Structure 1
Amino acid sequence: MSGDLLQGFVPHPEDQRQRYIEHGVWDNKPLWTLITDAHPDRPAVADGEHSLTYAELLAQADALAAGLLAAGLRTGQRVVLQLPNTTTFAVVLMGVLRAGLVPVMALPAHRLAEIEYFIRLTEAVAYITNDDQQTLVRQLQSASLPLQHIFVTNAPDGRDSLPMGDSDEFVPPPVNPCHPALFLVSGGTTGLPKLIPRTHNDYRYNAIRSAQICGLTADDIYLATLPAAHNFPLACPGMLGIFAVSGYVVMNRDPSPEHGFKLIERYAVTATALVPALAQLWSAATEWETADLGSLRLLQVGGAKFPENEARAALRAFPGALQQVFGMAEGLICYTRPGDNPDTVATTQGRPMSPLDELRIVDAEGKDVGPGEEGELLVRGPYTLRGYYRAAEHNADAFSPEGFYRTGDRVQLTPAGDLIVTGRIKDVVNRGGECIAAAEIEQHLLAHPRIRQAAIVPVPDKLLGERIGAAIVSAGLPPTLAELREFLAARGLAAFKLPERLEVLATMPVTAVGKIDKKQIIRALPTKRLCQALSTADTIIRLISI
């Protein structure tokens, strides 16, 4: 990988790298070896229409890798991937990795503002998407960007612009396992989403260790219900963890219980992962849906705090299957374990998966708190990043001098070593499992000609956990909520980031040091229902699927 593309990548220090290698958690293999080490004749991935064995997945991935390199792409260059949950997602991801390219894992919901930012930040030379994103493709084609190629797959008329070469003659180029294998997208806390470089070594370990914790074997069948570019359904253990044990992944584009339950019955699915809002809906749906769910032994719930009452409802609806997951694309993953007592599963967010995870819980002055006391969680370890990509100024605040990542989560540690997440320090809204930086939306709001000041705050919501509330001080006639949403959408902001509540204030409350006092704004919000309140299960599915 060329030095210019590595500029802005923060590696683990040499002493830490050696420690992880000596302990056997880093094995110095490319990430793509998860499929080359798998049993070639076993089924690897399906999407309801197509199915591939591991041998077929590898052959298609190699054909794509050969085609990408023949088209002029070079090892180490970045490629933005924006694909839905289909077998094509697996083929493209593995093909890009086999070519020695580095995918940027964009979500299907991202729009021009985010995609353009990813391209510019990483100097991406290619963008791969499907026909769902034709509007975005046209916008990118007319923008002044360093893109050399746009590849569109799965068009309704059969068009597929992926460059496929000769898989029989393909030999993957060598890669450095300590270099980035892919970039995940962070919810961030300031401005646009930060990019998280995950190396071959750390992400292989992330997937393999997660599969071990969850007891996955070659007989397991995993339903990818959440967008597969997320860290949770990708490697916790997700698709990559299933590949690590030669298991079977079923890709799902419709997270409704009606459709999901049918897939569980059809494929005898044994494991899946949901965010709390979906878990609540799925639990309720077991009362009226008739599909046979007896094969499901592992129901992971994460992405946001799972309230105890909802966790207990899930325990009743899916006996013995619930696993709480607390983690972040930046690294640390905590799991409750199979066999934990129901109270532990219902009331905690689990414990770290690696014996080499180092955790600190500190007060506002950075001092370690005592057992059972609340504080901010700091972490470092073999699969936690040491810096966001090309974000030196942000990294200075996001990491301690010793290299601990400041998660921004308030937690307590139980005597048994499990974490309880009690709140958040970072200025984000966690909407249905999507962490959204308040500052990013605020910057866009301040571009509106009739807004003088703006603050984004979380609004509690029974189904999504939090919704996006906007408080503004206007310059003249204040815009309506509909006008604001239209304005932000026109600026290329993803739909899941659009405010769902608008409060117009005469003046913005401030703290003693002159900063906007968001706590006072939240306390002053009336308890009336949100203007965009969810009213049907279909609306919940649509919002989570965005």
Structure 2
Amino acid sequence: MLEGFVPFPPELVARYRDRGYWRGRTLAQEFALALERFSDRTALIDGARHYRYADLDRLSDNLALNLLGLGLRPLDRVVLSLPNTAEFVILYLALQKIGCIPIAALVTHRYAELRQFVVLSQARACVYPAAHGDFHFGPVAERIAREAPSLSWRIALGEPGPGEHSLTRLIEEPAATSPSVLEALSIDSTDPCIFQLSGGTTGIPKLIPRTNEDYAYNSRVAAEVTLVDEDSVLLLVLPIAHNLPLACPGIQGFMFHGARVVLHGNTRPDEILALVEKHRVTHLKVVPALLIRLVNHPAAGNFDLSSVRLVQSGGQRMQPEVRARARRTFPQAFVQENFGMSEGLLMFVRKDDPEDVLLETCGRPVCEDDEVKLLDDEGREVSRGEVGELACRGPYTLRGYYGVPEYNAQRFTADGYYLSGDLLRLHRSGNYIVEGRKKDLINRGGEKISAEEVENLILMHPAVQNVACVPIPDEALGEKMCACVLLKPGEALTFEGLSAFLRGHEIAKFKLPERLEVFREFPLSTFGKISKKELGAMVVARMTGDSSCV
């Protein structure tokens, strides 16, 4: 067993298998069934490149053997930072076949995040594009390799630099290793198959171990609730490594059914709508910010969108007006809200829910063995209809973050319930309503940003005495981040100066504050802490010109 991994208790493993949620198979074995059964069907489209299931099987086999030839072994961790390309899917399948654990980084992550992932996981390899936009990954990866002894292999998609291996060549060049080696590998179905990333409130992201069996079930049950069949066509424009596009039901759930996935590398509405028409897309995954852009696109009515059967929205609450517009734009589609987390639990509204339930709630759990409690600050269950912190456990919800026993002691109850930090209320229908969160996060268009992580960096600025990052409302993204600062005597700071300072720390661009407000003092709670709720209201008052609240 991997040191630092918290397994499911044996009695729950037996229970979940007895009830059919878990099948005693690795994720690679689940994929193998689909790759063989649907071998002649088109599985993946990436621009002009079309791949059958048989093609993905053959290419991922070859890549798996070449990765073994490099020296990778089962349970080795691999930081995977690729855009929405076919190579991501081929590599993901190959890593499952050799039992390596991909770490689901984003192509927008930079030195600060990638180094953290390598150090936290003791990763053996890092895979990235040679360049993405105007950013070149090679020098950053080389720098991390000098600082992290575990990192033995740097693999680039595109033209490799000194010391790098070419992902394209590893996929295409015939492997010297015998295919029989793959059959001889021993992979435990209860071991981790991926580390997803938490939106945790601390400055260091937490690694979420998802096991082979729980992650496969996660995708199967999500596919059932989202009405996936072998004729379904999914268009993926959200970052492919995120839990929603990858597994809810995502690539996994669609491939298990022999369905088709279309990949696209940007979120420009005209391109998305054209792809829907061209490929007769049946399923769209969006966050509300993207959906708003699609339904407000002036030329949306010029495209044939009648193929879309389901628009799946997650990441943040969808407003009723957005839902109404989406129904007009995609007249044949069920606009389905869901609430989920990379840690596990998924809630979906259902097609037969009454209209008021569809408009007011985020859904209900997808499995009858999803155990949900809403707790007060003392850990007691709240009365029906009252707001409480979501605590959950079940056949696809983690039992502990990787390698952080002290943190796990805070985030999990003694009987294994995960304390999510989300505030929910039970609706009379049995669905749930999201009422906010205890976690100090800014939800920027579905990307969860740790306020503490950014605050720690801003405190390093020589002009800053204290800082608090708070969410401010945004019509398109839901929330943006405002950095509220107290300056040292005689110092000054501009928004441009703060942005330049933070860029110098090489963090992902989406984490940069989009507003700066300077205060003489911060409002404090009765416990002497900064009242971020009051501070956020003061920022909004400044934005709207309401001086009575400032």
| TM bucket normalised to smaller | over 0.9
User: For 1:95-132, what per-residue CA distance to the aligned partner results, in whole angstroms no more than 9, with x for missing partners?
Assistant: 11112111001011111111000001111111111122
Aligned pair 1:147/2:146, yes or no?
A: no
2:69 aligned partner? 70
Superimposed CA distance per residue, residues 442-483 of structure 1 (whole angstroms, 9 cap, x where no aligned partner)? 111111122111111111111110001111111241321111
1:442 aligns with 2:441: no
How far apart, CA to CA, are the structure 2 residues paired with 1:443 and 1:234? 31
Question: CA separation in 2, counterparts of 1:436 and 1:526?
Answer: 19
Q: Deviations over 1:29-51 (max 9, x none)?
A: 11123431111111111111211
1:486 aligns with 2:500: yes
Partner of 2:12 in structure 1?
16
| 1:28–1:200 CA contact under 8 A, matched in 2 | no
Which residue in 2 is equivalent to 1:541? none
Q: Work out whether residues 65 and 178 of structure 2, in 8 Å CA contact, stay in contact via their aligned partners in 1.
A: no
Give the distance between the partners of 1:508 and 1:136, measured in 2 at CA: 40
How many Å apart are 1:140 and its aligned residue?
A: 2.2
Deviations 1:147-182 (A, max 9, x none): 111111134999656534438725242211111001
Aligned to 2:439: 426
Question: Which of 361, 376, 380 matches 1:348?
Answer: 361
1:73-222 equivalent positions in 2, closer than 5 A: 73-133=72-132, 135-143=136-144, 144-145=147-148, 146-155=150-159, 160=167, 162-164=169-171, 165-166=174-175, 169-170=179-180, 171-172=182-183, 173-222=185-234
The equivalences for 1:28-43 within 5 A come to 28-38=24-34, 39-43=38-42
CA apart distance, 1:66: 0.3
1:383 counterpart SS class:
coil
Tell me what 1:313 maps to. Answer: 325
Work out the CA distance in 2 between the residues paired with 1:501 and 1:336: 35
Residues in 1 aligned to 2:437 and 2:394: alpha-carbon distance in whole angstroms: 21
Measure how far apart 1:370 and its partner are. Answer: 2.0
**Distance (Å, rounded) in 2 between the aligned partners of 1:52 and 1:344:** 40
User: Could you tell me how far apart the structure 1 residues matched to 2:471 and 2:267 are?
Assistant: 24
In 2 relative to 1, CA 426–66 (structure 1 residues): closer, same or farther, beyond 3 Å? Answer: same
1:406 counterpart = 2:416: no
How many Å apart are 1:510 and its aligned residue? 2.3
Please, which moves more after superposition, 131-140 or 327-336? 131-140
**For residues 393 and 292 of structure 1, do their structure 2 counterparts lie closer, same or farther at Cα, with a shift above 3 Å needed?**
same
User: 1:169 corresponds to which letter in structure 2?
Assistant: P
Instruction: Choose 34-43 or 320-329, whichever is displaced more.
Output: 34-43
SS at match of 2:392: strand
Asked if structure 2 preserves the Cα contact closer than 8 Å seen for 1:453 and 1:508, the reply is: no
**2:251 matched residue in structure 1:** 239
CA–CA distance in structure 1, aligned partners of residues 442 and 129 of structure 2? 29
Residues 249-306 of structure 1, C-alpha deviation per residue, up to 9 Å, x if partnerless?
Answer: 1001122221111111111110011001111111222764411111100100110111
Greater displacement, 417-426 / 127-136: 127-136
**Preserved contact between residue 193 and residue 211 of structure 2 (Cα < 8 Å):** yes
SS of the counterpart of 1:285? coil
Letter in 2 for 1:135: H
Contact 1:74-1:101 at 8 Å conserved across structures = yes
Matched to 1:77, the amino acid is D
Match in the other structure for 2:539: 525
> CA separation in 2, counterparts of 1:529 and 1:156?
48
Aligned residue pairs total 526
Q: RMSD value over aligned CA atoms? A: 1.9
Residues 292/286 of structure 1: CA separation in 2 closer, same or farther (3 Å cut): farther
Question: Greater CA deviation, 81-90 or 302-311?
Answer: 302-311
Contact 1:455 1:518 in 2 (8 A): yes
Q: Secondary structure at the match of 1:226?
A: coil
In 2, the alpha carbon distance for the partners of 1:160 and 1:359 equals 43
Shift of 1:56: 0.5
The match for 2:547 is none
Deviation at 1:330, TM superposition (A): 0.6
Tell me how far apart the structure 1 counterparts of residues 428 and 369 of structure 2 sit (CA, whole Å): 19
After superposing the two structures, state which structure 1 stretch, 441-450 or 119-128, moved more: 441-450
User: What's the secondary structure of 1:95's corresponding residue?
Assistant: helix
Deviation at 1:345, TM superposition (A): 2.1
SS of residue matched to 2:170: coil
Q: Which one of 511, 516, 526 corresponds to residue 525 of structure 2?
A: 511
| Amino acid in structure 2 at the alignment position of 1:48 | G
State whether residues 151 and 161 of structure 1, in contact with CA within 8 Å, keep that contact through their aligned partners in structure 2: no
Conserved? CA contact 2:59–2:90, under 8 Å = yes
Match of 1:534 in 2: none
Map Cα deviations across residues 206-234 of structure 1 (whole Å, 9 max, x no partner). 00111111121111111112011000111
| 2:267 equivalent in structure 1 | 255
| Cross-structure match for 1:395 | 408
- 2:235 aligns to what SS in structure 1? strand
The equivalent residue for 2:347 is 334
Q: Deviations over 1:56-80 (max 9, x none)?
A: 0011111111001101112110000
Over 3 Å counting, the alpha-carbon distance change for 1:7 and 1:159 in structure 2 is closer
CA distance in 1, matches of 2:349, 2:516: 38
Q: Which residue of 1 is the match for residue 47 of structure 2?
A: 48
- 2:336 is aligned, of 313, 317, 323, to 323
Q: Tell me the SS of whatever aligns to 2:39.
A: coil
Gap change, CA 1:218 and 1:526, over 3 Å in 2: closer
Tell me how far 1:373 sits from its aligned partner.
1.8
- The answer to whether the 8 Å contact 2:357/2:429 transfers is no
Distance 1:509 1:154, change over 3 A: same
**Which amino acid letter does the alignment assign opposite residue 426 of structure 2?**
L
1:415 aligns with 2:419: no
Partner of 1:227: 239
Is the deviation greater in 340-349 or in 160-169?
160-169
